[in-house]
């Protein structure tokens, strides 16, 4: 057990730091979190250093005199156990606070039972965590129907231009593609911050959490995937690339990266779930600044990086995302609503004579087969309306599509 005085001092120090940090950029997600429903806990997840603690600070400052804060991911609380929650209860009672904010509480075994007990005591709870798998499993066992989940990402393009005080357009989009949206990196542009972040995620959120020993294979896989965003991949082919024994191991590693919000896979669209499982997937990175630092490629594939940018925006919106590939025709994104295609998106840097048949052809083929009326082509800076085989297709600049879809 941890000494009561150590817990009390940690609480005091952290609270002073949180309430003094008032000069932060307001996140878009802030408006989606309503703290007036104490029967639910708000769970905020996302990759490390994307701004979860800052978001909590912004929420706390709305209820400064009635709030209680504790970040469990600190050396002072290493070894915190469920027995120490009794001490924490005493500290909360002494503070008289109604709004409780817990950062990275998932490092404590049994945390979900404790949070449930505080909900039953009519406290309003906000919890953050950096691993989707751990949180979802724990929430499913103890807090079914008693939580609302929120997913925080690095700065979106809209947040980026707001933070940097830039105008929406091709120039600022190019800057965003180069720098990405991790707040601390945008303050200093020191590349080692992103490299250190990748190491933290790899070790703390994957190797340690899942008890893995083959560090080199995991690094090799991450490096390969970072250099192949937007490409089709399969577990069997990747076994040869990173030299592991089975495709299952590769798929497990990819699942761990996805649980840590580092990389994401997109399945081929099919009405058959089995077909989605056996067909190749596309992979994308959570942030283009991070991807550019970790990619081993010396040549920039702007087309696939633009795809990555669009994927992240769709993911941020909570959309259900697939790709289309059939009879030699491809469409980058099939956006669905409960497995029903509702929007098709093609992404390229620019529509020119050399690629227009491929880009329009893939989009129209998908529209015909999937019976979708709306087709969109996203480019760097083109606007157009076209009718192809009776189907209406709109071309929109990516920066405009993002800023006007809010």
- Same-domain status, 308 and 327: yes
Number of domains the chain is built from: 2
CA distance 255 to 249: 10
pLDDT on residue 271:
83
Strands 329-337 and 340-347: antiparallel
- Same-domain status, 322 and 399: yes
- Same-domain status, 214 and 268: yes
- Same-domain status, 125 and 168: no
- Select from 98, 126, 151 the last residue of a domain: 151
- Same-domain status, 100 and 178: no
The number of CA neighbours under 13 Å toward the Cβ of 406 is 13
CA distance 111 to 379: 46
DSSP string, 258-313: HHTTSEEEEEBP-S-HHHHHHS-EEEEES-HHHHHHH---SS--HHHHHHHHHHHH
- Same-domain status, 267 and 125: no
- Select from 151, 171, 194 the last residue of a domain: 151
pLDDT on residue 299:
63
**pTM for the full predicted model:** 0.94
- Same-domain status, 180 and 196: yes
- Same-domain status, 98 and 206: no
- Same-domain status, 132 and 8: yes
Helix (H, G, I), strand (E, B) or coil at 218: helix
CA distance 368 to 270: 14
The dihedral of CA 300, 304, 310, 311: what is its sign? negative
What are the pLDDT tens digits along the chain (406 aa)? Answer: 899 999 999 999 998 888 888 789 999 999 999 888 778 899 999 999 999 999 999 999 888 789 999 999 999 999 999 999 999 999 999 999 999 999 988 889 888 889 999 999 999 999 998 888 666 666 666 677 788 889 999 999 999 999 999 999 999 999 999 999 999 999 999 999 999 999 999 999 999 989 999 999 999 999 999 999 999 999 998 998 888 889 999 999 999 999 999 999 999 999 888 888 889 999 999 999 999 999 987 667 899 999 999 999 999 999 999 999 999 999 999 999 999 999 999 999 999 999 999 999 999 999 999 999 889 999 999 999 999 999 999 999 999 999 997 5
- Same-domain status, 87 and 168: no
The CATH number for 69's domain is 3.40.50.300
Q: Which domain holds residue 221?
A: 157-404
- Same-domain status, 45 and 174: no
> In terms of Cα–Cα distance, which of 50, 75, 85, 64 is closest to 15?
64
Helix (H, G, I), strand (E, B) or coil at 27: coil
Q: In what order do the strands lie in the sheet with 41-45?
A: 67-71, 99-103, 124-129, 41-45, 147-151
- Same-domain status, 144 and 185: no
Rg (CA), the chain: 23
């Amino acid at each position: 057990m941890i000494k009561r005085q150590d817990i009390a001092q940690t609480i005091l120090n952290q609270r002073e730091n949180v309430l003094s940090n008032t000069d932060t950029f307001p996140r878009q997600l802030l408006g989606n979190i309503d703290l007036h429903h104490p029967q639910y806990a708000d769970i905020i997840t996302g990759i490390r250093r994307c701004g979860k603690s800052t978001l909590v600070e912004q929420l706390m400052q709305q209820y400064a005199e009635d709030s209680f804060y504790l970040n469990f991911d600190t050396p002072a609380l290493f070894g915190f156990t469920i027995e120490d929650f009794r001490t924490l209860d005493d500290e909360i009672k002494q503070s008289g606070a109604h709004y409780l904010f817990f950062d990275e509480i998932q490092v404590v075994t049994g945390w979900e039972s404790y949070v449930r007990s505080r909900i039953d005591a009519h406290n309003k709870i906000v919890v953050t965590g950096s691993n989707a798998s751990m949180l979802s499993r724990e929430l499913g066992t103890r807090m079914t129907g008693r939580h609302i989940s929120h997913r925080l990402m690095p700065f979106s393009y809209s947040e980026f231009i707001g933070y940097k005080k830039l105008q929406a357009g091709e120039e600022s989009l190019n800057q965003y593609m180069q720098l990405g949206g991790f707040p601390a990196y945008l303050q200093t542009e020191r590349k080692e911050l992103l490299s250190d972040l990748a190491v933290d995620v790899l070790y703390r959120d994957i190797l340690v959490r899942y008890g893995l020993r083959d560090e080199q294979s995991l690094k090799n896989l991450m490096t390969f995937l970072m250099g192949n965003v937007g490409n089709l991949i399969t577990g069997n082919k990747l076994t040869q690339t990173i030299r592991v024994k089975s495709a299952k191991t590769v798929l497990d590693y990819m699942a761990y990266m996805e649980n840590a919000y580092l990389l994401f896979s997109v399945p081929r669209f099919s009405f058959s779930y089995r077909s989605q499982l056996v067909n190749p997937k596309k992979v994308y990175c959570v942030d283009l600044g991070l991807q550019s630092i970790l990619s081993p490629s010396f040549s920039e594939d702007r087309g696939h990086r633009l795809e990555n940018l669009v994927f992240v925006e769709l993911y941020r919106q909570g959309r259900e995302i697939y790709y289309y590939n059939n009879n030699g025709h491809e469409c980058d994104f099939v956006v669905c609503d409960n497995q029903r295609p509702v929007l098709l998106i093609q992404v390229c840097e620019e529509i020119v004579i050399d690629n227009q048949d491929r880009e329009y052809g893939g989009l129209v083929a998908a529209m015909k087969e999937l019976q979708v009326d709306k087709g969109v082509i996203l480019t760097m800076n083109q606007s157009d309306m076209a009718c192809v085989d009776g189907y209406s297709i709109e071309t929109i600049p990516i920066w405009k599509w993002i800023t006007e879809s809010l």
